[in-house]
Amino acid sequence: MKSTIILLFVIFIDSFAQTSDSSLVQFNWKGISNYQAKLLVPKNYIEKDDYYGEGIFTTLSYKDSSCIFLHFGGNMQIPIMDDNIDVEDSIKNKKGITRKGRLSNCQLFWREDNLEESLMNIGYYNVPKDKIKQFEKALDSFEPIEK
């Protein structure tokens, strides 16, 4: 009986470790007025908010030059990233359009999600191959909060 309990405990701990990613933290994006969002992002970022006439562009930058960006508003070219990128995948889904690829002539990757209904755009840029899964989890965890 005791060994069964220990075995179940070990299985629980192992499954918890596989599903949680302690390198991600919750980021609450304030956006503008009624348009906000939350997502899990890699730790140790520097946040920069740039407000312009029709919206906001937020960048979470990391020491290795990778970044996550969040955008809300109008008067912005879509896709936001179009210089020096190779588009390897473009998928239309119920939320909008997701594009992925690598930067031209290097081994860094990017992704951009244009969420048509909410006028929000999120993405990552300059991400090395060994961090793609972490940044994919971050974008996949994005939840708009309309107040």
Residue 54 is predicted with a pLDDT of: 84
State pTM to two decimals: 0.79
Residues whose CB is less than 8 angstroms from the CB of residue 42 and which lie 6 or more positions away in sequence, other chains included: 23, 24, 25, 62, 131, 134, 135, 138
* CATH 3.40.1000 for domain 23-146: yes
Domain-by-domain residue ranges, the chain? 23-146
pLDDT in tens, the chain (147 residues): 544 444 334 333 333 333 455 789 999 998 877 778 999 999 999 999 999 888 899 999 999 999 999 998 877 777 777 777 888 889 998 889 999 999 988 999 999 999 887 778 999 999 999 999 999 999 999 998 866
Residues 80, 123: contact at Cβ < 8 Å?
yes
